[in-house]
C-alpha cells in the first residue's frame, strides 16, 4: 500500500481515462457507415456534473468560446441543456462527423486540464439504423464505448447492442462489463 493509498483509506485513486480513445469513434464511423449501413444523425453531446464555483464556470465558458470561434471554420453549432438529474449537456450539431468528435474532445480536454476530469461522465454519438436511433456512448471514467439501442419507453434492444459490440470491437475500445452499459434515457440528442 502506497502513501496516497494510506491517506485515501485504502481506496484507489480514480484512473484518468485516455481521451485519445475517444477518437476511435472517427475510425468506427467508417464501419458504421459502410459496413453496417448506418448514418450519423449529425449530432453529439457531452454530459458532465457541474460545480457551482467560478473556476469551473470559467473553464466551461472558455471551452464554449473556443468552440464558437472554431465554428466559424467548421460550421458546428452548440446547444445546452440540463437534465432532470442535475447534469449539464453541451450538444453539438455538425454534418462533418470528425468535427463532432473534436468538439466533444475539446470540452473534455478543457475540463480535464482544469482539474475537473472526474466531473465528465459521457459522450453520446447517435446514429440511425433502419429509422431507429442507436447511440454509441463513451464513458470517460472507463475510457470505453458501449452501444445503447432504446426501443421505447425505458426499453432497450440488448440483442442488437450485443451484435454491435461484436461488430465494433475491432474499431473501438468496447466496455467488457455489460453491467456498466448504463442507459442514457432522454438524452437531448
Q: Which residues make beta-bridge pairs with 145?
A: 138, 174
CATH topology for 16-180?
A: Alpha-Beta Plaits (3.30.70)
Q: Which residue has the higher pLDDT, 70 or 50?
A: 50
> Could you tell me the three cell numbers for 154?
425505458
Q: Looking at residues 67-96, what average pLDDT do you find?
A: 86
pTM of structure: 0.85
**Phi/psi of residue 9, each to 5°?**
70, 35
* pLDDT tens by residue, 21-67: 999 999 999 999 999 999 999 999 999 887 777 777 787 777 777 76
Alpha-carbon distances of 173 from 24, 46, 142, rounded to whole Å: 8, 18, 10
Give the helix/strand (H/E) hosting 3: helix 3-7
Task: Using the predicted structure, report yes or no on whether residue 165 has a pLDDT greater than 90.
Answer: yes
**Number of Cβ atoms within 10 Å of the Cβ of 33:** 14
Judge whether 142 and 123 are in contact, CB under 8 Å. no
Amino acid at each position: 500500500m502506497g502513501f496516497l493509498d494510506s491517506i485515501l483509506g485504502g481506496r484507489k485513486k480514480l484512473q484518468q481515462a485516455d481521451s485519445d480513445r475517444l477518437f476511435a469513434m472517427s475510425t468506427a464511423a467508417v464501419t458504421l457507415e459502410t459496413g453496417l449501413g448506418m448514418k450519423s444523425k449529425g449530432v453529439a453531446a457531452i454530459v458532465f456534473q457541474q460545480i457551482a464555483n467560478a473556476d469551473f464556470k470559467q473553464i466551461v465558458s472558455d471551452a464554449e468560446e473556443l468552440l464558437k470561434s472554431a465554428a466559424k471554420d467548421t460550421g458546428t453549432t452548440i446547444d445546452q441543456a440540463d437534465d432532470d438529474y442535475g447534469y449539464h449537456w453541451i450538444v453539438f450539431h455538425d454534418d462533418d462527423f470528425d468535427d463532432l468528435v473534436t468538439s466533444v474532445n475539446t470540452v473534455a480536454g478543457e475540463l480535464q486540464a482544469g482539474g475537473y476530469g472526474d466531473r465528465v461522465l459521457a459522450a453520446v454519438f447517435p446514429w440511425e439504423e433502419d429509422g431507429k436511433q442507436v447511440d454509441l456512448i463513451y464513458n470517460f471514467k472507463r475510457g470505453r464505448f458501449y452501444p445503447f439501442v432504446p426501443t421505447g419507453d425505458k426499453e432497450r434492444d440488448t440483442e442488437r447492442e450485443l451484435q454491435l459490440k461484436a461488430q465494433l470491437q475491432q474499431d473501438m475500445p468496447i466496455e467488457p462489463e455489460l453491467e456498466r452499459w448504463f442507459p442514457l434515457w432522454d438524452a437531448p440528442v
